[in-house]
Amino acid sequence: MDYRERTEAKVGVAFQIADQYLSDKIPLEEAKNQLAGEMANIRPAQFESIKMKLGEKLRVADSQVITEKLLNLFQNYLPFPYSRLELGHPIRNYYEENRIVRSFLVRVDEMEGEEATVDTWKEIYERLSQFQIHIKRQEKNFYPLLLPAGMRLQIEKVKELGDAIIHEISNNQEILKSGDLFRFIFHQRSLTQIFMNYLDLEERVILPKALRSLTEETFTELKRSDDMDGYVYIDKPADFIPKDTLKIGVDHGMLLPAVLASREMGLVYYTLTGEIVSVLGEQITKEDLPITEGTRQAILNDSEKKLKYWYNKGNKRFLITYSLVMDHQKNHLGILKTKEDISEILALSRERLEGNQSDQTVKTDQDIIRAAKIIDTNQKISELFARYPKFQIDFYHLDEELMGLKGLMGAEILKEATVGMVAKSLRVDPAVLAAKINKLLDTY
């Protein structure tokens, strides 16, 4: 049986276990135990193939229940989505190095099946030997930071595995020089398993613990140390700028006027009793300053509602919006009025809609604005998240089963998911879900 047949067999057995669990023939714990037996001493190509097969299963899952059951079964073998960390984050850099060395290990599996030449093995081993840069840098800069977090045993184990990798690579390179391929392959398979154990321990135990335990300041200092010692397989990463630094470093006094100017918008902030606190933006004129008692009462009586109206002035069309300002505990703080020049938006939207001869529903400016937001079943959820920040919260309340997609794993699933794909997983008509989303977007 060659490596491809071995890989197919391993994937087949893993998903036979999954199918038994999904059909309730065996309980979760038994399925996990059986899967753990199959995943022990797994080869790199087999591991990557199982991850690919799982991704396919999740994409075609026809219910949220099946998705959740698959994730529960395979959760110990799913890495944290490190690529979602900030650019330059040390943990993201480590994972990128690991990802690349895993690709080399998959190639090693292929080469065993292809009966590769000595020279070809020497080339791949030269690449593998470079990974000691990662191993030695981690031991010097990263692992000591985790000792106060109660990780002594795990750190000792990963150091032991790292030393074994360096030793085995050197030993196997010496065997290659002798030309004894039979003896080399025997030792090579041992190296692959040590590599897999090292990567699994680092990615599934040590890196997640670091994210929970270390501060942004510590990661900043760690990045500086890593930059001095260098990286393997990747170019020097971008500077790491912690989220807190981004928040603190922004000069809101300069930023807000710039944003208002770019959007041709102005705002007036009132107390709850209607006194003016501040005015920003060139769009605000003397006539825009007062707030009527009826408007104030309407906002206070329905804190979830935004009051909107449009009016013309010259060749301009303006959108006025009133909303209640609240803190995170829903305490009322004040009333915000925004005024936005929407003339250009309307012109572009009308031009687009007039080009669609089948659309006979657009009659008013408000219809045009609404139509500009209309999405179909091919719309990606992640694009709506980026376009409408509030939708990132409201989306999960459209259906109670969507709550299961909250969190990092759900975010990974939704990254490429369309409205139609989500509807399929919920077993609802895609057009119905699209209509719900359109109705929600119409409130923004």
pLDDT level of residue 203 (50, 70, 90 thresholds)? very high
pLDDT in the model for residue 155: 96
Helix or strand (DSSP H, E) at 114: helix 90-114
What percent of the chain is modeled with pLDDT above 70?
83
Place of tokens 């193939």: 49
User: 250 or 235, which is more confident?
Assistant: 235
351, amino acid identity = E
pLDDT level of residue 394 (50, 70, 90 thresholds)? confident
**β partners of residue 319:** 310, 340
CA distance 111 to 125: 12
DSSP 290: -
CA distance 434 to 135: 49
The mean pLDDT value of the chain amounts to 82
Give yes or no for a contact between 66 and 74, defined as CB atoms under 8 angstroms apart: no
pLDDT higher than threshold 60 for residue 225: yes
pLDDT higher than threshold 80 for residue 431: no
For 93, the token pair is: 């850099």
Place of tokens 């981690």: 138
Q: Of 133, 156, 130, 132, nearest to 143 (Cα)?
A: 156
pLDDT level of residue 144 (50, 70, 90 thresholds)? very high
Residues 245-268 pLDDT 10s: 444 344 444 445 555 555 567 888
pLDDT in the model for residue 107: 93
pLDDT in the model for residue 347: 62
pLDDT higher than threshold 60 for residue 52: yes
CA distance 162 to 344: 61
pLDDT level of residue 375 (50, 70, 90 thresholds)? low
DSSP 402: G
Q: Of 394, 405, 401, 398, nearest to 426 (Cα)?
A: 401
Average pLDDT over residues 56-61: 82
Rg of the chain taking only CA atoms, in angstroms: 29
CB atoms within 10 A of CB 313: 10
Give yes or no for a contact between 161 and 194, defined as CB atoms under 8 angstroms apart: yes
pLDDT in the model for residue 55: 84
pLDDT higher than threshold 90 for residue 192: yes
pLDDT in the model for residue 362: 43
**Where do the domains of the chain lie, and which CATH numbers do they carry?**
3-77 (no CATH), 82-245 (1.20.120.520), 250-341 (3.30.450.20), 374-441 (no CATH)
Query: Phi, psi at residue 338, to the nearest 5°?
Result: -120, 145
CB atoms within 10 A of CB 114: 12
pLDDT level of residue 4 (50, 70, 90 thresholds)? confident
For 279, the token pair is: 């005015």
DSSP 428: S
For 408, the token pair is: 């990092």
CB atoms within 10 A of CB 263: 14
Give yes or no for a contact between 222 and 142, defined as CB atoms under 8 angstroms apart: yes
pLDDT level of residue 374 (50, 70, 90 thresholds)? low
350, amino acid identity = R
The greatest distance separating any two alpha carbons of the chain, rounded to the nearest whole angstrom, comes to: 92
Average pLDDT over residues 378-394: 79
CA distance 421 to 72: 21
Give yes or no for a contact between 398 and 344, defined as CB atoms under 8 angstroms apart: no
For 51, the token pair is: 């991850």
User: 416 or 352, which is more confident?
Assistant: 416
CA distance 414 to 385: 10
CA distance 168 to 174: 10
Alpha helix stretches (DSSP H) within 116-151 = 118-129, 132-137
pLDDT higher than threshold 60 for residue 364: no
